Amino acid sequence: MVIVMKPGVGQERIQTLVAQLERDHGVTVGVTNGVGCSILGLVGDTAHIDMDKLSLNDDVERVMRVQEPYKKANRKFHPEDTVVDVSGVPIGGGKFAVIAGPCSVESEEQIVGVARDVEAAGASLLRGGAFKPRTSPYSFQGMGTGGLELLLEAKAATGLPIVSEIMAPRYCELFEEKVDLVQVGARNMQNFDLLKEVGRLSKPILLKRGLSNTYEEWIMSAEYIMAAGNENVILCERGVRTFETYTRNTLDLSAIPAIRKMSHLPIVVDPSHAAGMYWMVEPLAMAAAAVGADGLMVEVHNNPPRAKCDGAQSLTPEKFRHLMDQLNPLVELMGKTLA
């Protein structure tokens, strides 16, 4: 962190601030006296220093960070890629994992049927929402705990580990017991109480990017989970809000190389929620693989027109099989193998 002092501030006042910073924050401060003003360089762990408070000091002109505020998620302190193990399925490293399944669990027949289809096509994890974050309170809210039980039946039938979204801290115990990968949805990316609580689980976390969040805000949310003790975090780009209204969201493929540079955590892409239209899912999925994603999350439904949620963006099992066939040689070309 660098502090630029106002022109004309005397050495005595500078030394008072230096002593205060060293005492209060355990950092070492170097002073450079320029022609017009002095600059303080803070060395040490500055993550917990409140920049806004510092800039309230009458002698301070400007405060700048030269280090990222995230530590545990930072690639600088952890150069190698993290590989997250989801009940035996590796996410990250040289593997490409495909998470597939319906937006929401609707019935035993539906979830077991889709699970068998996606497993046969090469998916490595089964998704299905039991608790749904819907814009309208009158829309289908999910089957709740019963939905998790049906996911477990589908897991027993296929061997696929299961992924489902948690919406509130009070469900932590339930998800710890039932689910292999706990999803924190876009709408809850900055629900800090929830992040702290899932940070205490032993299960890995799939952290989706918020609807309008920057890379740094997203990584800071991962940092919350990691700081609470759970370092098994997978990031998921699912499109962000832009001025474009043709698609549901705009898939931000720049996120993949950017996150790779900023963090060591694995990153997967959800083209379904980005596009909002089934026919865009395959090209966007291919692009995600080509730009270096560690995997995909794709919505698949046995009867999209009758889906209780997100039918328009859901692939049929046939279209999903087509996607997997297209994807296979591309994944190989990228030097990876399907998980």
Residue numbers at the binding site for ligand PEP (CB under 6 A): 103, 129, 133, 185-187, 208, 238, 270, 273
Say how far apart CA 151 and CA 154 lie, in whole Å: 5
Residue 208 touches which member of ligand PEP, Mn ion, none, C-beta under 5-8 Å by kind? ligand PEP
User: Least distance (Å) from ligand PEP to the CB of residue 323?
Assistant: 17
User: Least distance (Å) from Mn ion to the CB of residue 335?
Assistant: 31
Burial environment of residue 12 by CB neighbours within 10 A (0 to 12, 13 to 18, 19 or more):
exposed
Smaller CB separation from ligand PEP, 79 or 137: 137
User: Least distance (Å) from ligand PEP to the CB of residue 155?
Assistant: 18
User: Least distance (Å) from ligand PEP to the CB of residue 129?
Assistant: 5
User: Least distance (Å) from Mn ion to the CB of residue 113?
Assistant: 18
User: Least distance (Å) from Mn ion to the CB of residue 231?
Assistant: 27
What would the two tokens of residue 31 be?
């002073």
Q: Which of 282, 288, 223 is nearest to 254 (CA)?
A: 288
Smaller CB separation from ligand PEP, 193 or 325: 193
Smaller CB separation from ligand PEP, 71 or 187: 187
Say how far apart CA 105 and CA 149 lie, in whole Å: 10
> Which stretch, 57-65, 156-164, 278-286, 304-312, contacts Mn ion (CB under 5 A)?
304-312
| Residues facing residue 215 across a β-bridge | none
User: Least distance (Å) from Mn ion to the CB of residue 295?
Assistant: 17
Smaller CB separation from Mn ion, 103 or 166: 103
Q: Are 314 and 300 in contact (CB under 8 A)?
A: yes
What would the two tokens of residue 245 be?
């209204």
Say how far apart CA 28 and CA 44 lie, in whole Å: 7
When CB distances to ligand PEP are compared, the closest residue is 185
User: Least distance (Å) from Mn ion to the CB of residue 134?
Assistant: 10
Smaller CB separation from Mn ion, 42 or 315: 315
Smaller CB separation from ligand PEP, 27 or 265: 265
Say how far apart CA 229 and CA 236 lie, in whole Å: 20
Beginning with the edge strand found earlier in the chain, give each strand of the sheet holding 28-33 in spatial order: 28-33, 38-43, 2-5, 60-64
Smaller CB separation from ligand PEP, 38 or 313: 313
Smaller CB separation from Mn ion, 17 or 284: 284
Which residue of 73, 97, 103, 143 would you call a contact of Mn ion, by CB under 5 A? 103
Q: What is the DSSP string of 59-77?
A: TEEEEE-SS-S-STTBGGG
Which residue of 117, 223, 282, 310 would you call a contact of Mn ion, by CB under 5 A? 310
Residue 294 touches which member of ligand PEP, Mn ion, none, C-beta under 5-8 Å by kind? none
Helix (H) or strand (E) holding 299: strand 295-299
Residues 83/238/65/226 CA torsion (nearest 10 deg): -40
Say how far apart CA 273 and CA 313 lie, in whole Å: 7
Residue 185 touches which member of Mn ion, ligand PEP, none, C-beta under 5-8 Å by kind? ligand PEP
Q: Which of 80, 48, 210, 97 is nearest to 219 (CA)?
A: 210
Residues in 29-48 that interact with Mn ion by CB under 5 A:
none
| Residues facing residue 97 across a β-bridge | 295
Tell me: does residue 106 bind Mn ion (CB under 5 A).
no
Contacts to Mn ion by CB under 5 A: 103, 310
